[in-house]
A = this chain, B = another copy of it.
Amino acid sequence: MDVTALLAKLYQQLPAENTGEVATYIPELAKVDPTKFGVHAVTCDQRAYAYGDSEECFSIQSIAKMFTLTMAYQREGNQLWERVDVEPSGTPFNSLVQLEADKGIPRNPMNNSGALVVCDILLNYLAEPKKDLLAFVHSLTGDETINFNERVAASERETSARNRALIEFIRSFGNINNDTERLLDFYCTLCSLEMNCRQLAESFLFLANQGISPCTGKRIVSSTMTKRLNAIMQLCGLYDEAGEFAFRVGLPGKSGVGGGIVALHPGDYCVAVWSPPLNPKGNSFYGMAYLEAFTSEVGESIY
């Protein structure tokens, strides 16, 4: 199969009308060009295919939650799950309702509350949290050009009332230990990571390769941990659209409000797609459609 040609063809076949809308709740994100589209696929044996704006960096936002989750899992092992559960939530990503019923244990590490607890855990381990996080991301691929976007981080901190509420609420149940502003600063910086489709696909490739980065040959996490991280992505990676994504795309994946989605086929490949307009559930409208067509054509879902 000529994968490069396929990537172009699939783009042509996207629905003419993109009914999604660019995220506006973070002012800095609202400035992005909604017509941007990029995709990059890379196999475990490092064959790579790309189309469109695949080399242009964008704000990966929640996709970055997988980086901190991996770092925390490395350090805490399965103790981690005493502070955050691994169940899909059935409610929007920033909901407080379930937290009240669950007494401050977030349903999973992919929604905001769970990601905040994961960041809180990491703050107890990292001497220089932002620097250490960046070093970890660099270590996944060897690419040291990846960086935060300070303006996005600042923009996010300024519109973080809901996340502050989550932090204080979880703290009231005893499941947050660090200072609110310090935690929020780390979290917003995490979400401000900028990567292009290639970097994204490559940095998630260890999850398709039993925990070893094909780019560097280094083991990131054990094979068992890899499976568990993929299971979490599968069930919780696309918020309350996880079922739809599993149903249509059939791969573990993680989305961000910047319009990126990364998905992977264990043992096979990783693919990252980027298109800023989001559907009503907060996932890239074209990204979902493209990945659905992609797995249909490539004939591969995990099911």
Contacts and interface: CB of A to CB of B under 8 A. Distances in A.
Contact of A161 (B98, B169, B240, B301): B169
A interface, over-half SS? helix
Contacts of A95: 100
Interface residues of A, number: 49
A90 to B, nearest CB: 3
Contacts of A243: 85-88, 108, 231-232, 235-236
A296 B252 CA distance: 20
A96 interface: yes
A59 interface: no
A228 interface: yes
Determine which residue in A161, A171, A228, A252 has the highest number of CB atoms from chain B within 10 A of its CB, and name it: A161
Interface in A215-266: 224, 226-228, 230-232, 234-236, 240-244, 246-247, 250, 252, 266
A301 B100 contact: no
A188 to B, nearest CB: 14
Interface string A86-121: 111111000111101000000110000000000000
A168 interface: yes
A242 B301 CA distance: 19
A240 B303 contact: no
A164 interface: yes
Determine which residue in A100, A236, A247, A252 has the highest number of CB atoms from chain B within 10 A of its CB, and name it: A247
B303 A227 contact: yes
A45 B102 CA distance: 45
B224 A247 contact: no
A66 to B, nearest CB: 14
